[in-house]
């Protein structure tokens, strides 16, 4: 199953940030939410995510809208990093994996 299509420019990655107990992390005062990823072992990319404007910040939802040039076919491995109001950093404890297919 594929998560994204190469070169799409309207695809959005939305992630609910949760603590180890599965409770949504309140992003209301977060200084930054960053996405780090590699596609097929390529160079590490860093993108700033936004707190989803359609969600309340305390639901832990952050998103990133892809630019067409960023989505190339392959296997993406990613992680999310939250910097809180005290500049403490929390990184996801599991990597996220997405498959990006070629356009037909």
What is the domain range of residue 28?
4-101
Please report which confidence band the pLDDT of residue 53 belongs to, taking 50, 70 and 90 as the band edges: low
Q: What's the structural domain count of the chain? A: 1
| Cβ-proximal residues to 9 (8 Å cutoff; 6+ apart), any chain | 66, 67, 68
Question: What's the mean per-residue pLDDT of the chain?
Answer: 92
Rounded CA gap, 40 and 78, in Å? 11
Whether the full predicted model's pTM is greater than 0.85, yes or no, is yes
Which domain CATH number covers 80?
Answer: 2.60.40.650
pLDDT at 33: 97
């Amino acid at each position: 199953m594929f998560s994204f299509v190469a070169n799409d420019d309207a695809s959005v990655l939305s992630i609910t940030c949760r603590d180890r107990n599965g409770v949504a992390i309140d992003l209301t005062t977060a200084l930054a939410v960053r996405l780090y990823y590699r596609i097929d072992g390529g160079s590490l990319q860093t993108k700033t995510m936004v707190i989803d404007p359609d969600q309340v910040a305390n639901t832990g939802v952050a998103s990133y809208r892809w630019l067409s040039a960023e989505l190339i076919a392959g296997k993406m491995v990613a992680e999310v990093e939250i910097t809180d109001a005290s500049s403490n950093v929390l990184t996801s404890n599991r990597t996220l994996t997405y498959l990006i297919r070629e356009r037909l």
